[in-house]
Amino acid sequence: MPEVIAGLEIPETAAVAEATRRVLKTTSPLVYHHSRRVFFFGLIPRSHACLGLDGLDQDQLGEILAVHPRGDFHERVSASPGRRAEEPPETTNGTMNSDLLEHFIPGFRRVTTVEGIVGSPWPS
């Protein structure tokens, strides 16, 4: 029987089962709950989500957060890259991590997308 939270159904497929298994095995509960929230929010029609969840039914939001709480997500996720990045990677371009590293690591400057394209060794 499929898992249903807040009226939203998680498909019973091998891909979903494998993705869930991997997230549970390789990440923290913080990342697991975040990934599930993102998945559920993605199931909600865009017209209801309104980018900032302004139009999202508060009961539906409450049900999702009851099963997959945010906890101290903002504090932990924003501080984590800075704590473990003794040698900041150059591969964070286009991700939230590039913002976090630039914010938390003195002197770190990310390469912009334009700089990456213009400075690439690829022939035209």
pLDDT in tens, 14-42: 999 999 999 999 988 888 999 999 999 88
- Amino acid found at 83: R
The per-residue pLDDT for 65 is 93
Within this chain, do residues 30 and 77 fall inside the same structural domain, yes or no?
Answer: no
Q: What does pTM read for this prediction? A: 0.61
Residue recorded with tokens 């101290």: 72
Q: How many domains does the chain have?
A: 2
> pLDDT for 5-14, tens place per residue?
999 999 999 9
Residues 91 and 67 both lie in one domain: no
Range of the domain at 37: 1-71
CA distance linking residue 60 with residue 114, whole number of Å:
40
Same domain? 86 vs 117: yes
CA-based nearest residue to 31, from 66, 71, 3, 64 = 71
62-68 long-range Cβ contacts below 8 angstroms, 24+ apart: 63/5, 63/6, 63/7, 64/5, 64/6, 64/8, 64/37, 64/40, 65/37, 67/5, 67/36, 68/5, 68/32, 68/33, 68/34, 68/36, 68/37, 68/40
Q: Both 77 and 88 in a single domain?
A: yes
Any residues with CB less than 8 A from the CB of 78 and at least 6 apart, and which?
100, 103, 104
pLDDT at 6: 92
Mean pLDDT estimate for the chain: 79
Structure token pair of residue 16? 């979903």
